[in-house]
Amino acid sequence: AQKVTQAQTEISVVEKEDVTLDCVYETRDTTYYLFWYKQPPSGELVFLIRRNSFDEQNEISGRYSWNFQKSTSSFNFTITASQVVDSAVYFCALSEADTNAGKSTFGDGTTLTVKP
Amino acid sequence: NAGVTQTPKFQVLKTGQSMTLQCAQDMNHNSMYWYRQDPGMGLRLIYYSASEGTTDKGEVPNGYNVSRLNKREFSLRLESAAPSQTSVYFCASSEVISRAHSNQPQHFGDGTRLSIL
């Protein structure tokens, strides 16, 4: 069975601080996909990144970066120089490749508040 | 650029009433999903459909039924609404390239806020 744990329920930072959101996953499959989604206060869910289990390279996109480590089953997300617009709920998700429907298991989410 | 469209956006029901939530996607995705989101509990999968004509139970299917009417549409039905079903419901779709085992990200609708009194 697959499981995703986001241990940080809420994080509060001041603008321009760096912040890391943790994600730990469990799966028995060797081929799987990891995702991060953002849910701003307006409520929609926005896809941020997708990673497959064979690609452990870290990824950077502007102020966002992701650290995938299979040895610790973690896929952490760092926001550098945070801004008020980064305030949102962030979800980590896991999808095993052998399910023909591509269904995902989501973590409970981390609510990030960035104060001016 | 419609993506995934859910209707209605808001609904208030009385206990025991029935209702169908509608979802349609225009991205030609084969897989579709229904989730509910409750405070502090993330997204929980209710039902999903890998292709037209097939549906499967997710984590929390009790009290719900679904219909995959065609490739575009996937509806969720509450036959006899209960207060415990008060939630925000999200429909999503994704492309799954099964031969390549390539699971693509899910695209979500804007959600339906459902209150059951």
Q: Which of A54-63, B9-18, B26-35, B43-52 has the lowest mean pLDDT?
A: A54-63
Asked if A44 and B31 come within 8 Å (Cβ–Cβ), the reply is no
Two structure tokens written together for B75: 């509806």
Exposure on the CB side of residue A96, measured as CA atoms within 13 A: 13
Chain A contact for B94, CB < 8 A? yes
Find the chain A residues whose C-beta atoms sit closer than 8 A to any C-beta of B: 6, 9, 31, 33, 35, 37, 43-45, 47, 50, 52, 91, 95, 97-109
Instruction: Give the closest-approach CA distance of B40 to chain A in angstroms.
Output: 6
Suggest the residue from B90, B95, B101 to mutate for an interface test with chain A (most A CBs closer than 10 A): B101
Instruction: Give the closest-approach CA distance of B31 to chain A in angstroms.
Output: 6
- What value, to the nearest 5°, has the Cα angle with vertex B33 and ends B86 and B96? 160
- What's the average pLDDT block by block, 10 residues per block, for chain A (116 residues)? 93 97 94 95 94 88 94 96 97 84 91 97
In the block, residue with structure tokens 């997204």:
B43
How far is B31 from B28, CA to CA, in rounded Å? 9
Asked if A47 and B105 come within 8 Å (Cβ–Cβ), the reply is yes
**What pLDDT does residue B100 have?**
61
Four-CA torsion B46, A105, B42, A14, nearest 10 degrees:
-160
**What pLDDT does residue A2 have?**
87
- What value, to the nearest 5°, has the Cα angle with vertex B74 and ends B47 and B63? 40
**pLDDT tens per residue, range B79-108:** 999 999 999 999 999 987 765 667 889 999
In the block, residue with structure tokens 């508040």:
A113
